[in-house]
Every structure is written in C-alpha cells, then in structure tokens.
Amino acid sequence: MAEWLLYRYSGPNITSPPLRPKTAEAKQWDLATTDALGRTISASSTSAAAPGIMDVTRGSISSTSTTHSAREDPNVSSEPFLLRHGRRYLRSVGYYPLPCDLPELHRQNLQTLLATAVFGRALGSTPSPQNPPKRVLELACGSGYWSAVCHEYLAGLGHEDVSFTGLDIVPLAGDLQRQGIDWKFVQHDLRKLPLPFDDDEFDIVVMKDMSMVIPLGAPSQRILDEAVRILKSGGTFEIWETDHIIRSILPHPPPPPGMDPEEYACALQTGTFLISPITPFTEVQNKYLQDSNSWIQEALDRRKLSPTPCARISQMLLQETETLYDVGNRRVAIPLGELRWEREAAGEKIVPKKSTSDTGKLKKGSAGLDSTTLTEEQAALRYTALLIVIQLVESLEPLLKEVSGKNQEEWQRWWGWMMQNLLEQKGASSGECLEVGVWWCKKV
C-alpha cells in the first residue's frame, strides 16, 4: 500500500487532484500531445520515472518480449489508430467506445490501482503455497499495469518464478522485463479465435475490465470458452469488473451474512462496503450522475455492451458446470466522498448532550462536527473513485453528447455544472458509489 501515497491529494483542499500515474512516454507511443481538456502534456509529466511499481509501463517495446499472432490484421499493425474528437481511438474496433490515449490509460491504471487497494491484493483467489502459479495470462492487458501489480503481490508471497503474458490488439504495454518481470506481450485481436495459445497452457487467466471490449451474447461466450481452453486443469480463472452505472447505497448497510473476517476488516480499513444480495441500494441521488447514468446506459445498449457487468458474472460462471467449479466472488462499493449519514453518526458520538446554548456554540465552531469522519487513506480512495467516474464521462463524451442531443455549448455548460457540483459542492454525499468486483473459479 506504500505506493498509494503517490496518489493522495496534497494539502487540506480535497478538490486538488491527486498525482496520476506516469504510464508511458508520449513520444514512444506516438500519442497526442494534448489531453482531453486541451492541455499540453509536458515532457516532464509523461516521461519522468515514477518510483517502484508505478514505473510499470516505461521503456520501449522490446522485440524480444513482443510477439505477433499469425492471424493479426495487417491494417491494425500498420495504422492502428485514428484521431477523432481530439482523442485517439482504435481504428478497427468500431463498437469499442473508449479512446486509446494517455488520459484514458491514466484512468484505467487508476482503476486497477483502486481495485487492488480496496481488495488488498492483486488476485481474488488465494494461490496455493504447495502448487504456486507458474504462468499467468492477462487478456486485453492495455498498459500491463495489472500484471506488474500481480508480479509484486506474488513475489511478496514468495512466488517469484512466475512468467506473465499480456495479450491485446495493439502494443500499449512497455517492456516489463526492465522492471524485473518475466514478461511477454502477444499482439492479437480477441475477435479472432482461437487465441494463439496451446490447450492447458496457463495456471491463471485473468480478464480485467473487458465489459467494453467484448459485446454481450455469443462473443462473450466464445471468449469464456477460449479462456477455459488455455487454462490448465485445476488452474484459476478470474474476472475483474467495474459497473459503469452509479447507484446510491442506503444508510448503515448490514454486513453480509457469513462474511469473511479478513474481507470485512479490509472494508473497514478502506472505508468501503462489502456487497451482498441484502445490501440496500437505490437509484443514484445526484442529478448529474442521473444524467450520465441514463446516457451511458443508452450509449452502451446501442453497442450491445453491458453497463452493469457485475450483475451478470456470477450467473455466467455458475452455468459452466461441466468446465468450472468452486466459484467465488467479492464485491465492494466505494463511496465517491464522505457520506452525509457517516458524518451525522460521527457527530452523534462526538457531541455530548449539553444545554441549548452550548449546543449552538458547538455547531458554530466544534472541531468534532467539522472534522472529517475518514482517515486520509480512506478519503484518498474515495476521491480517486470520484475521479475515475468523472474521467469515464470525459472519455465517453462524444457518445454521451450524441445520445443526450446536446451541442458543444450545451455540453460544456452541463460539464461545468457537474464538475462544480461533484468537486466543489461535494454533491456525491448521498450514498453514491462506484461498484467493483472480482470473481474466481477453477477449471475441472
């Protein structure tokens, strides 16, 4: 968790953005020189080395660690990107709604960092000390950041002899071998099956944040079947996902029945909430998140992508009774800020019963009522979740403008109001949460 300190906002102003991971050198990837807001990406902000694990995507793509599938589309290789709406997109995957540029990769890395922080680990399953994993595959690996985090996690458990393979349609990941990781990148289009791997080749296969990569229905089933094919018998298959629709958790949710004590302790430490079938949710309360929810829902429905993937993964895995068993999951709700009822509950505990005049004095100047109920670590986690939500809306801007019917001027006005509400007025204080989950199972 030491690297989390890199992301804490500095000073008492919670609206100050935290530091963001330096994911790669802009020149190396031939990315645009400005971000989505038109700000120039300076050389210092894109090429400076971040300490330790955060330096996972620096360095050139090494020819010794990169392979190309024989079924690779030559058009993807020669000119994989196109510039649209001031952002860089994949040329050959029309339904994929997200840009493929530095700001979006920053967001995805933050999302990976947040998920592994709230779970306290880089794997949902627990590796066997007697039979540790030797080969790990990350599908749609992007920057390769999860593989780097998982390498550090497994090394901390004493499993250092582990090789990692990342597969994606374009080579965005840097040469992780420079970080001391046994790493190989395979360039391949997931739509072209079978995947370029042998049967029973990997001990762990991970699909992370692929709900916007693979459409619902037959395509997702084919990818699942392929993941099982290349997994060893007894190997572990994991899915990590984040819902794109925001809900509000109701006050004082009960702990899940039969909860794991370690998971509950981790939730208490991080200021998050474990999700179970009895966790009470309602529709999001913030009006701007209501807007973005409805637009994201419609935009993804048009592309046959799931806006709430966390709701369907357990059922998808449980129905594979002939090939998968021992299905488990862990879902967590991360509030987007300090919740009103948390502060009220803390105030009731802190403020003793006093006379009316004394109570009035406390309301005006009491540090007990004005101080936050969260630790610095918890506040940083929640603020990062809020940033991820805002940056997703930013990355989906062209699609959301289209479904909302707003022109550029109307969109900029709405965007400004949303930013002011969420960042300055603490508008996400009524239970609004980002929901993340990890599911794991074993191959028969």
Ordered per-residue pLDDT tens for the chain, 444 residues: 434 333 333 333 433 333 333 333 333 333 333 333 333 333 333 333 333 333 333 333 333 466 766 455 554 557 899 999 999 999 988 889 999 999 999 999 999 999 999 999 999 999 999 999 999 999 999 999 999 999 999 999 999 999 999 999 999 998 999 999 999 999 999 999 999 999 999 999 999 999 999 999 999 999 999 999 999 999 999 999 999 999 999 999 999 998 899 999 999 999 999 999 999 999 999 999 999 999 999 999 999 999 999 999 999 999 999 999 999 999 999 999 999 999 888 766 654 544 444 433 333 333 223 346 899 999 999 999 999 999 999 999 999 999 999 999 999 999 999 999 999 999 999 999 999 999 999 999
The number of C-alpha atoms within 13 Å of 363 and in the hemisphere containing its C-beta is 9
In a domain, 291, yes or no: yes
* CA–CA separation, 93 and 97 (whole Å): 9
Q: To the nearest 10°, report the CA torsion of 112, 118, 119, 122.
A: 30
| pLDDT (0 to 100) of residue 79 | 84
| pLDDT (0 to 100) of residue 373 | 86
| pLDDT (0 to 100) of residue 345 | 81
In a domain, 35, yes or no: yes
* CA–CA separation, 387 and 181 (whole Å): 30
Q: Is 171 helix (H, G, I), strand (E, B) or coil?
A: coil
Q: To the nearest 10°, report the CA torsion of 271, 276, 280, 282.
A: 90
Give exposure, 179-212, as e/b (b: 16+ Cβ within 10 Å). bebbbbbbbbbbeeeebbbeeebbbbbbbbbbbb
In a domain, 409, yes or no: no
CA distances from 112 to 59, 242, 409 (A): 20, 10, 33
The secondary structure of 328-397, three-state, reads EEEEEEEECCCCHHHHHHHHHHHCCCCCHHHHHHHHHHCHHHHCCCCCHHHHHHHHHHHHHHHHHHHHCH
Q: To the nearest 10°, report the CA torsion of 347, 353, 354, 356.
A: 70
In a domain, 382, yes or no: no
DSSP 100-119: -SHHHHHHHHHHHHHHHHHH
Q: Which CATH number fits the domain that encloses residue 143?
A: 3.40.50.150
What is the span of the domain harbouring residue 111?
Answer: 21-335+432-443
Sign of CA dihedral 331, 394, 36, 20: negative
Radius of gyration of the chain (CA): 22
Q: What total of structural domains would you count in the chain?
A: 1
Q: Omega of the bond prior to 219 within 30 degrees of 0, cis?
A: no
In a domain, 304, yes or no: yes
CA distances from 29 to 41, 155, 264, 361 (A): 13, 29, 41, 59
Distance from the Cα of residue 155 to its chain's centroid: 22
* CA–CA separation, 187 and 107 (whole Å): 22
The number of C-alpha atoms within 13 Å of 233 and in the hemisphere containing its C-beta is 2
In a domain, 364, yes or no: no
In a domain, 354, yes or no: no
What is the distance in angstroms between the CA of the first residue and the CA of the last residue of the chain?
34
* CA–CA separation, 150 and 252 (whole Å): 33
Contact 225, 419 (CB under 8 A): no
| pLDDT (0 to 100) of residue 346 | 74
In a domain, 321, yes or no: yes
Q: Token pair for residue 171?
A: 């080579």
| pLDDT (0 to 100) of residue 161 | 95
Find all residues with CB under 8 Å of 315, minimum gap 6, and list them: none
